């Protein structure tokens, strides 16, 4: 990787642990929290792709709620409106991964941004709660173009809004489809592979791979 002028981060699963909702899921449905969290996330992603392919964009909050409703039905869990509201609110206070603050500090003074499928207000809430608001010069949302990743229209927001050539932006994500989509668009890409799992076989590979966000600083030295 060379000539990195800015870092752009995916939010869900990269900076923020989507499975930090598991505690609330377990509280609502003892012993079923892990299964609910896993299926909820899987459906959330699947619905973004399907809605984009159908040309029927919906706000990420609606997508997330639809995924939750399906997951509960599939697992045979009765979900009264109050419980659903409580579980949905967890997406506004997702826990950042433990190394996030240290990693972002180590990358200063380069400009840092977020590029996410999340709705602007959802991203603003979770960033504010995590104490990260001052870390980012831009928080970019797929809502601006009304399609979801891995559409190139989403990744194009980064160079356009930052005023930096795409070849000089390092995009960081832990999601395989996101890594591949960003690389196909032409960004430099670093994959965060916390679980040490293989990349999907879709013809594109990241420029670098790390296990923790704190390793990103090494990219600047090379």
**Which residue numbers are catalytic?**
10
Residue 3's alpha-carbon distances to 7, 164, 193, 198, in angstroms, are: 11, 11, 23, 27
Q: How far apart (Å, rounded) are the C-alpha atoms in residues 53 and 31?
A: 35
Whose CA is closest to 164, among 156, 173, 154?
156
Q: Which tokens is 137 given?
A: 């010069």
Residue 103's alpha-carbon distances to 10, 64, 132, 154, 201, in angstroms, are: 14, 28, 12, 24, 29
């Amino acid at each position: 990787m060379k000539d990195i002028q800015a870092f752009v981060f995916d939010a869900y699963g990269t900076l923020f642990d989507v499975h930090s909702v598991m505690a609330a899921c377990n509280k609502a449905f003892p012993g079923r929290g892990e299964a609910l969290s896993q299926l909820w996330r899987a459906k959330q992603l699947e619905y973004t792709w399907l809605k984009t392919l159908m040309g029927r964009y919906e706000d990420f909050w609606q997508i997330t709620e639809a995924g939750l409703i399906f997951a509960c039905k599939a697992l045979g869990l009765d979900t009264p409106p109050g419980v659903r509201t409580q579980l949905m609110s967890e997406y506004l206070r997702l826990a950042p991964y433990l190394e996030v603050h240290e990693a972002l500090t180590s990358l200063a003074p380069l400009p840092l941004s977020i590029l996410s499928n999340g709705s602007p207000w959802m991203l603003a809430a979770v960033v504010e709660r995590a104490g990260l608001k001052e870390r980012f010069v831009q928080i970019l949302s797929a809502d601006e173009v009304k399609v979801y990743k891995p559409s190139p229209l989403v990744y194009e927001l980064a160079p356009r809004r930052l005023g930096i050539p795409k070849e000089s932006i390092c995009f960081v994500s832990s999601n395989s489809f996101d890594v591949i989509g960003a690389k196909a668009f032409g960004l430099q890409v670093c994959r965060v592979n916390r679980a040490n799992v293989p990349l999907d076989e879709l013809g594109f590979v990241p420029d670098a791979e790390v296990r923790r966000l704190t390793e990103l600083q090494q990219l600047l030295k090379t």
